[in-house]
Chains A and B, each alone.
Chain A
Amino acid sequence: MMNVNEQDIIQFVIDRVADLTSRPELAEELNGDSPLEDAGVDSVLLVNLMMQIEQQYEIFYEDDELLQENFATARLISQRILAKRAVQTEV
C-alpha cells in the first residue's frame, strides 16, 4: 500500500472535484475546508468521487459511511481515508 499524507489526499480530492464538475479553476480555488456541495458536487458526482477514491486508495466505503456529512470537505474525506487505511494496516 502506497504511503500518503493528508495534504496529498486533499489535493487528489480537489483535483477530482475540478474534473468531475468540469470546472478546472476549482483546482486553485478550493482548499481542504471548502464545502464541496457549494462547489457543485451533487449526489451523483459524490458517488463518482467515492468510487475514484476507493480505487485510488484501495479502500471500501461501508453502506453506513455513505452520508453527505462524511464527504462535506476534502479534509473530512482525507481524514476518513487515513483512518480506514490505518485500520487496514493494523489488520
Chain B
Amino acid sequence: MKQAHCFLNGLGYGLEQAGWDERPLYIGAWDAPFSVTEDGKLTYFSADITPSEYLRLFTRLYGEGAVEWYDYGAEKLVNLKKFLEVLRRYPELPVLVQLDLFHMPYQKRTFQTMHQPHFVIVHGTRGDQFVVYDRYFEWEGLVAASHVHDAFLSNELGGGLLLHPEWLHAPDAHEVARIFEDTIETDPGERSLTSTVRRRIMQTVESPDMYPPGALKDAVSQLGILAKRKYSYGLLYQYFSEALNQGTELYQEQLEGFIRMWSTLAYLVIRTSMPGRTGEIGLLVDKVEQLHRTEQQLKEELIDVYHRWKPRFTC
C-alpha cells in the first residue's frame, strides 16, 4: 500500500486485519485538507484539520469500527492516561494514535531533529516496549515505552482511535459510487494544492516585503508530504481497473511521474529562494501550470475507468 496519508494508512491497518479492501477509503484523499500559516508556509497539519471527515467516510464505507478515545478538550497527560488505559484494556485491538516523530527512533530524518505530528498504529505491548506499525513509512517493530510517552506528550496536536476490525464489513459498491461521485463533483478550485502553491509563489512577486523570496523554501518544506496524497488517484484507479480485469501500469507510471514533478518543483522553489535567483519565478509558475494540467488528465482517466466500472458493479 502506497504512502498516501498517515491517518488513512492507519485506518487501513484495521481494514487489512479484517480482510477488507481499503482502497475506497482513499476517495478524495488527493485533495485532503492542508493549511497555510500566517507567514505563508504550506502545512499538512494544524489544529483546524481534524480527521472527523475521514472518520465519517470510514464509517459510511465499512461500518462503526473505529471509536475515538482521544479527548481534544483534555490535557495531554489526561489523554496519555486514556491511551495507556485503552492499550491495557484492549491488548488485542489496534490503536491509532498521533505521535511526534521527534521521539520515534526508527524515523532517522526526524528523530531528535524535527517535530512532526504523525499517526501510527500501536498494536499491543511487549514488556516495556510498544508494538508499532507505521504503514506510511513501511516500518514495524518495537519502540521503547519511554519514547512513545515522550512522542505523545510533545506532540503539538493529538488524536486517537480504537479500531475494532471484527465490527467492520466490506464496502458496498453503491456506497463507493455515491461517495466517488460526490467527491469528484466537488471542485477544490482555489483550495487545490496547485492553486495554493501558485498563489504562494505569486505573493513573492506581488508582496515581497511580506513574503520575501528567501521564505519560499520554508513555504514548500512539506510539499513532498502533500504531494504523496496524490497516490490516492492510483489506489482508486487500481480498485476500479482490477474489477474490470484491466491493467494499470501506464496510469501508475504517469502518476509516479506526476509525483516526481512535485518533488522537482519543491527543489526548484528552494533554488529560486536563494539570493540572486528570483528571476526564475516565471519558470516555477509554468511548472505549476504543467502540474495542474497533468492532474486534470489523471483525474479524467480515473473518472473514465469509474464510468466503466459503475454499470457492471452497482446494478
Q: Is the CB–CB distance between B264 and A43 below 8 Å?
A: no
Q: How many residues of A contact B (CB 8 A)?
A: 17
Q: Which B residues are within 8 Å of any A CB, using their own CB?
A: 108-109, 113, 217, 221, 224, 260, 263-264, 266-268, 270-271, 274, 287
Q: Is the CB–CB distance between A46 and B267 below 8 Å?
A: yes
Q: Is the CB–CB distance between A66 and B274 below 8 Å?
A: no
Q: Is the CB–CB distance between A44 and B264 below 8 Å?
A: no
- Once bound together, how far apart are the Cα atoms of A68 and B113, in whole Å? 19
Q: Is the CB–CB distance between A66 and B109 below 8 Å?
A: no
Residue of B nearest to A46 (CB): B267
Q: Does A37 contact B (CB under 8 A)?
A: yes
Q: Is the CB–CB distance between A67 and B224 below 8 Å?
A: no
Q: Is the CB–CB distance between B266 and A43 below 8 Å?
A: yes
Q: Is the CB–CB distance between A66 and B268 below 8 Å?
A: yes
Whether A67 contacts B264 in the complex (CB less than 8 A), given A37-B109, A38-B109, A44-B221, comes out as yes
Interface SS majority for chain B: helix
Contacts of B270 in A (CB 8 A): 43-44, 47
Q: Is the CB–CB distance between B263 and A66 below 8 Å?
A: yes
**Cross-interface CB contact of B264 among A35, A40, A51, A64, cutoff 8 Å:** A64
Contacts of A43 in B (CB 8 A): 217, 221, 224, 266-267, 270
Contacts of B109 in A (CB 8 A): 37-38, 42
- Once bound together, how far apart are the Cα atoms of A38 and B108, in whole Å? 6
Q: Is the CB–CB distance between B271 and A51 below 8 Å?
A: yes
- A-B contacts, 21 of them at CB < 8 A, read A35-B108, A42-B109, A42-B221, A43-B217, A43-B266, A44-B217, A44-B270, A46-B267, A47-B217, A47-B267, A47-B270, A47-B274, A48-B274, A50-B267, A51-B271, A63-B264, A66-B267, A66-B268, A67-B263, A67-B264, A68-B263
Contacts of A35 in B (CB 8 A): 108
Contacts of B221 in A (CB 8 A): 42-44
**Interface code A42-76, partner B: CB below 8 Å = 1, 0 otherwise?**
11101110110000000000011011100000000
Q: Is the CB–CB distance between B224 and A66 below 8 Å?
A: no
- Once bound together, how far apart are the Cα atoms of A39 and B217, in whole Å? 20
Closest A-B pairs by Cβ, 10 of them: A66-B267, A47-B270, A38-B108, A66-B264, A44-B217, A47-B271, A63-B264, A37-B109, A44-B270, A67-B263
- Once bound together, how far apart are the Cα atoms of A40 and B260, in whole Å? 21
Output the residue of A44, A64, A67 with the most chain B CB within 10 A: A44
Residue of A nearest to B270 (CB): A47
- Once bound together, how far apart are the Cα atoms of A42 and B274, in whole Å? 15
CB of A60 to closest CB in B, whole Å = 12
- Once bound together, how far apart are the Cα atoms of A46 and B263, in whole Å? 12
Residue of B nearest to A38 (CB): B108
CB of B291 to closest CB in A, whole Å = 12
Q: Is the CB–CB distance between A67 and B260 below 8 Å?
A: yes
- Once bound together, how far apart are the Cα atoms of A67 and B259, in whole Å? 11
CB of A70 to closest CB in B, whole Å = 10
**Cross-interface CB contact of B113 among A40, A63, A64, cutoff 8 Å:** A40
- Once bound together, how far apart are the Cα atoms of A88 and B109, in whole Å? 35
Output the residue of B108, B267, B271, B274 with the most chain A CB within 10 A: B267
CB of B128 to closest CB in A, whole Å = 26
**Interface code A11-51, partner B: CB below 8 Å = 1, 0 otherwise?**
00000000000000000000000010110101110111011
Contacts of B263 in A (CB 8 A): 66-68
